[in-house]
Chains A and B, each alone.
Chain A
């Protein structure tokens, strides 16, 4: 009977071939390290956020007179409301943590390079959607930091040429952040995750066309590929277990460590907090914003600091595969960039003093400098590595990749089941 049902479905919907193409037969490089677990984890956290969010929305009130109270209602009166709320608040941080590791892995191993540019760019789009969703969600508790964070960030749109003031009013629905802002942010905060789902679908279609990259940086021969299921389903589940342990430590034992104390005070438009800080995941970009003394310049620098990742496929001109794996200079650049990110995060967190402003400006220069130097450094590094003599296995890898590229040009990529 089950066989007949599946047959009935298969005549109407490609169920079996889908499972075979994308799961049981989906070729995955066997040398993937645990750094390749984070894409799956991001998908999991997305589902977790949507699941907890739907239940929170059942008890939340999007009304400036009631939203702060409704959060306390969830925390105190709703059965396991405190669990839902802490899972959702911690989940936002977990989402960014997982995405940042996912991006760092892509940068380290050069996974953004041909033929995976579209994966990188759809991922960039996902990052923007995630940032927008998180930013709007942060307004909903209607605490002091919610209000002032939203005020500061929407105010940045004043930098729009000619119609800046109108754009700010249009975004807020009012002259100041108020009830109109709260209701629209709630509406969009509920909508955006579903757009993210669609974008993840596109990200995955691209992935299943170009397949996963791997630490060696080249497309591996068939013998080095193994089916996704069961090998990577179980590996992903094991990684998920580790992730959930860390996540649960935060949810159950230190949930307030990620919530600013000032957000436990109801929003008060008449009283600015001493020090407005965004959530930790925005700190480096916030530091870049503050490092430029001029509003338009700061907004442009902050926008560019997020979008500049998209240029990586053009900036990195080295043909040596495997990203930082086989490239010592690129590796140094990568780690220096991470250090720079942490410095920017610190500068974004502390109240500005003359010293931190100077440090922030130097770190901002280093941030952009490290991107602008990549074309020259990567080319020089490639020449240097070639001159020094590459290990034979890398030479073989490069030759094979060049050969594969030629072959790909002749026969465009196809799915296995496609009609020729």
Chain B
């Protein structure tokens, strides 16, 4: 019985370790997200220029950008004739987008959470464009994509220029990460207090437990 189980167990283990399960998953470039207002504002600016014409962020309102601490003048420019309390909608209508791309570009509010790999996925995707043999731009990470190479990664050969684009992509991704979870900074700050409080409480409970149990002999 035991030897049988042992053999089975070995076979199973060997099988597990030799699995090429993740082999088809592309390797993502890692990106360190920025969390300060300035960088996120830069990201918003880049996004408003490159993405806003087609993509909406319907869970975010223009006012949220102002109350987060972004420059009011810039937000005014971005919103155009849209109301300050209105959701950030794409400049292009859905039917126009359908006509141009064959599908409605997805809403970006939760994009940083909606893909395996999160921010790393978005960063790798934005930088994943290359020039195909037919002279069109293709994407390594998502070959079926209908999105044009908005940052012009495929047309850049200059290293310095490429670094600049990478910085821009990083800002955009940082902004999208903030949009997907605007309370994250508050959550983490509160988390430290909660954990500190619980550590003190648990220590006291432990001491009290020892004291009460010491009555037993």
Contact = CB atoms under 8 A, between A and B. Distances in A.
Interface stretch (B89-97, B113-121, B151-159, B167-175): B113-121
Contacts of A358: 15
Interface string A255-282: 1100101101100000000000000000
B98 interface: no
B216 A231 contact: yes
Contacts of B216: 30, 226, 231
B187 interface: yes
B209 A238 contact: yes
Interface string B171-182: 000000000111
Q: How large is the interface on B (under 10, 10 to 19, 20 to 34, 35 or more residues)?
A: 35 or more
Interface in A15-58: 30
Given A72-B59, A234-B212, A241 B201 contact: yes
Contacts of B188: 252-253
A224 B66 CA distance: 66
B201 to A, nearest CB: 6
Nearest to A245: B198
Interface in B100-126: 109-110, 113-116, 118
A230 B212 contact: yes
Contacts of B27: none
A82 B201 CA distance: 24
10 contacts: A30-B216, A69-B59, A75-B181, A231-B212, A238-B206, A252-B195, A261-B118, A264-B114, A353-B20, A366-B5
A234 B12 contact: no
Given A245-B198, A245-B199, A346 B9 contact: no
Q: How large is the interface on A (under 10, 10 to 19, 20 to 34, 35 or more residues)?
A: 35 or more
Given A83-B187, A248-B195, A264-B114, A72 B109 contact: yes
B19 interface: yes
A253 B188 CA distance: 6
A251 B190 CA distance: 11
A355 B19 CA distance: 7
A134 interface: no
Contacts of A83: 187, 190
Contacts of A244: 198, 202
**7 smallest beta-carbon distances between A and B, as pairs:** A252-B191, A241-B202, A264-B114, A264-B110, A238-B205, A264-B113, A234-B209
B17 to A, nearest CB: 11
Contacts of B116: 261
A351 B20 CA distance: 11
A259 B19 CA distance: 25
B208 interface: yes
A242 B209 CA distance: 13
A230 B216 CA distance: 11
A205 interface: no
Nearest to A255: B187
A373 interface: yes
Q: Which of A241, A355, A373, A377 has the most CB of B within 10 A?
A: A241
A255 B59 CA distance: 20
Contact of B202 (A238, A249, A350, A366): A238
B21 interface: yes
Given A241-B202, A245-B199, A261-B113, A235 B209 contact: yes
A264 B199 CA distance: 33
A238 B201 CA distance: 9
Contacts of B19: 350, 353, 355-356
Secondary structure at the A interface, as helix, strand, loop or mixed, is helix
Interface in B44-70: 59
Given A83-B187, A230-B212, A252-B188, 12 more contacts: A86-B187, A234-B208, A242-B202, A251-B191, A261-B115, A353-B19, A355-B18, A355-B19, A356-B19, A362-B8, A366-B5, A373-B1
A353 B213 contact: no
Interface in A84-100: 86
B183 A82 contact: yes
B138 to A, nearest CB: 20
Given A231-B216, A234-B212, A256 B113 contact: yes
Contacts of A366: 5, 8
A336 B9 contact: yes
B163 interface: no
A76 interface: yes
A299 interface: no
A156 interface: no
B205 A355 contact: no
B16 interface: yes
Given A238-B209, A264-B114, A359 B109 contact: no
Contacts of B110: 72, 264-265
Nearest to A82: B183
B9 A82 contact: no
A109 B180 CA distance: 46
A346 B17 CA distance: 12
Interface string A201-231: 0000000000000000000000000100011
B32 interface: no
B66 to A, nearest CB: 15
A230 B210 CA distance: 12
Interface in A325-382: 329, 332, 336, 339, 343, 346, 350-351, 353, 355-356, 358-359, 362-363, 366, 373, 377
